[in-house]
Amino acid sequence: MHETTQTEPSTDTPPEPPLGALLLRSAKYQSRGQRAATQALVEDGTLLDHGPLVRTLVVDGPRGRRTCDWDRLTGKLYTLGLGPEDRLFLGLLLSLVPVGSHTLSGVEHLTERRLVILLRAIVCLAGSDRVAIGTGL
């Protein structure tokens, strides 16, 4: 007698894309400043691992899309247990949106890596696709 093995249909749901990808997808429907700030946040690659920040900043937007609610961050930036450079970087991103009263004068305190990320975000905000950000002056 020949045995047949029956496989049950998979009930596993496909894994959800990374949070950064979801945020970038929803940013397409936001203002240029919000898109630039979201792009910089995702490109940073470290802040989206900070649970208190994600719980404050990321919300379910229209049609269930995960999105950044930058207004929610303004009053809570100093309550999230972030280090000084992280707070500064987020404050500068808030200046792109614009919400709050952060200025770009804090760039002198950023690492080169974050300065390059912020410069790309500013170029995005300006609507330019011809400006290259690289090394040298």
Question: What per-residue confidence (pLDDT) applies to 95?
Answer: 86
The pLDDT assigned to 56 comes to: 96
- Output the CA torsion sign for 120, 123, 127, 132: negative
pLDDT band at 7 (very low <50, low <70, confident <90, very high): low
Q: At residue 124, does pLDDT exceed 70?
A: yes
Q: Which residue, 4, 7, 67, 3, is CA-closest to 35? A: 67
Question: Where residue 4 falls among pLDDT bands split at 50, 70, 90?
Answer: low
Dump pLDDT digits (tens) for 61-92: 878 899 999 999 988 999 999 999 999 999 88
pTM here is: 0.74
Higher pLDDT, 13 or 1: 13
CB 91 within 8 A of CB 106: yes
